[in-house]
């Protein structure tokens, strides 16, 4: 049985090589940082190409995830393969001189489809186990040279599987099994947009300006004027606006995670440096803390929408 499996793996590797070009050990040039993670999970295994083409190695990176989670195109391009190889579903996207490969992924696009950066191309399927659960294998080539896909992100601070990987997997699974709907904690999915503590929590409170009881649909995080505001997770800028109540407002759409639509909201900034439709990385600076709108001092109001309803952001800390 092990011999059959080994032959299948070898055949899969050969087919992917044929799709993406032959293996080479020549030192490749780095890819320009202009892409996004195809899956919002930590790196379980990094890029480790073989010393010689015929030796074992890891010609891509593995991203920890949950089966059924949406997988997006790391960069804009054209789908050149979407099908099954050796029992595993694969999507390959051409970006001109670069080519990215995603497996195992149940395709939601067809060959010839033009895709934009961050556009959904499929859903993570079972079949690629890694430490902590299931993984997406993400590959990148330029011509005949394998590249590290993480180079597409630039200096993003992506690191190998962290010590809290179990908690992150539990968080993703928690989404899938409606822990959020049951009021449970969902830690690890979002990072704090500023490092300050909570000054005012989620729920009904006496409004500090109008002195009447209202729903506080988020948390106020302590931060000084001008401090950087960072994206809580990778996503697309859905809205940049200004109104008397919110001041400068930003909404980031993080897509579907485990079957739930996730959006984060940032209020009262001095302004934002991103524009609608732009994709941002987790931890990327998107604006500066301010006191615009109905505010009594510099801080960040941080909100979280799940399936269009505000929930307590503290569940994500």
Q: Which helix (H) or strand (E) holds 65?
A: strand 61-65
Q: Residue range 63-69: average pLDDT? A: 83
Strands lying side by side in the sheet with 120-124: 70-72, 120-124, 105-107
CA distances from 191 to 40, 264, 292, 301 (A): 12, 11, 23, 15
Predicted TM-score (pTM) of this structure? 0.50
CB within 8 A of 8, min separation 6: which ones? 86, 87
The tokens of 116 are what?
């934009």
Query: Rounded to whole angstroms, how far apart are CA atoms 216 and 198?
Result: 13
Give yes or no on whether 2-161 and 198-316 have one common fold: yes
DSSP state of 34: -
Nearest to 174 by CA among 163, 165, 183: 183
Nearest to 130 by CA among 85, 174, 87, 160: 160
- Look at residue 84 and tell me whether its pLDDT is greater than 70: yes
Q: Is the dihedral of CA 198, 204, 207, 208 positive or negative?
A: negative
Provide the pLDDT confidence category of residue 207 given band limits of 50, 70 and 90: low
198-316 CATH fold: Glucose Permease (Domain IIA) (2.70.70)
Query: Rounded to whole angstroms, how far apart are CA atoms 136 and 126?
Result: 9
Class of domain 2-161: mainly beta
Answer whether 154's CB lies under 8 Å from 28's CB.
no
CA distances from 283 to 31, 253, 286 (A): 21, 15, 9
Nearest to 282 by CA among 190, 178, 174, 161: 190
In the chain, what is the straight-line distance between the N-terminal and C-terminal CA atoms, in Å?
45
Question: In the predicted model, what is the mean pLDDT of the chain?
Answer: 77
Residue with tokens 């430490």: 131
Task: Write down the pLDDT at residue 68.
Answer: 85
Q: Residue range 290-314: average pLDDT? A: 90
Per-residue pLDDT tens digits for 112-143:
999 998 899 999 998 888 766 788 999 988 88
- Look at residue 249 and tell me whether its pLDDT is greater than 90: yes
> What is the DSSP track for 90-152?
EEEEEETTEEEEEESEEE-S-TT-EE-TT-EEEEE-S--EETTEEEEEEEEEETTEEE-GGGG
Share of the chain above pLDDT 90, in %: 32
Q: Where are the domains of the chain?
A: 2-161, 198-316
């Amino acid at each position: 049985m092990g011999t059959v499996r080994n032959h299948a793996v070898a055949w899969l590797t050969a087919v992917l090589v044929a799709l993406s070009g032959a293996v080479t050990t020549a030192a490749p040039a780095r890819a320009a940082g202009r892409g996004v993670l195809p899956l919002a999970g930590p790196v379980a295994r990094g890029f480790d190409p073989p010393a010689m083409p015929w030796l074992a190695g890891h010609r891509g990176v593995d991203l920890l995830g949950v089966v059924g989670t949406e997988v997006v195109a790391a960069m804009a391009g054209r789908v050149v393969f979407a099908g099954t190889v050796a029992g595993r579903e694969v999507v390959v996207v051409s970006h001109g001189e670069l080519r990215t490969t995603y497996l195992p992924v149940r395709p939601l696009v067809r060959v010839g489809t033009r895709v934009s950066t961050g556009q959904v191309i499929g859903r993570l399927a079972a079949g690629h186990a890694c430490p902590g659960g299931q993984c997406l294998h993400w590959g990148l080539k330029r011509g005949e040279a394998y590249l590290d896909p993480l180079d597409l992100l630039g200096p993003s601070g992506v690191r190998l599987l962290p010590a809290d990987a179990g908690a992150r997997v539990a968080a993703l699974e928690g989404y899938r099994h409606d822990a959020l709907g049951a009021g449970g904690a969902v830690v690890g999915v979002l990072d704090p947009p500023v490092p300050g503590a909570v000054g005012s929590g989620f729920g009904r409170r006496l409004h500090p300006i109008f002195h009447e009881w209202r729903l506080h649909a988020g948390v106020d995080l302590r931060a000084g004027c001008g401090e950087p505001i960072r994206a809580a997770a990778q996503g697309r800028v859905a809205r940049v606006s200004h109104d008397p109540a919110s001041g400068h407002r930003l909404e980031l759409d993080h897509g579907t995670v485990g079957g739930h639509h996730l959006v984060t909201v940032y209020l009262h900034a001095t302004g934002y440096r991103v524009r609608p439709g732009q994709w941002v990385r987790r931890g990327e600076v998107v604006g500066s803390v301010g006191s615009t709108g109905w505010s009594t001092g510099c801080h960040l109001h941080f909100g979280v929408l799940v399936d269009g309803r505000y929930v307590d952001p503290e569940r994500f800390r």
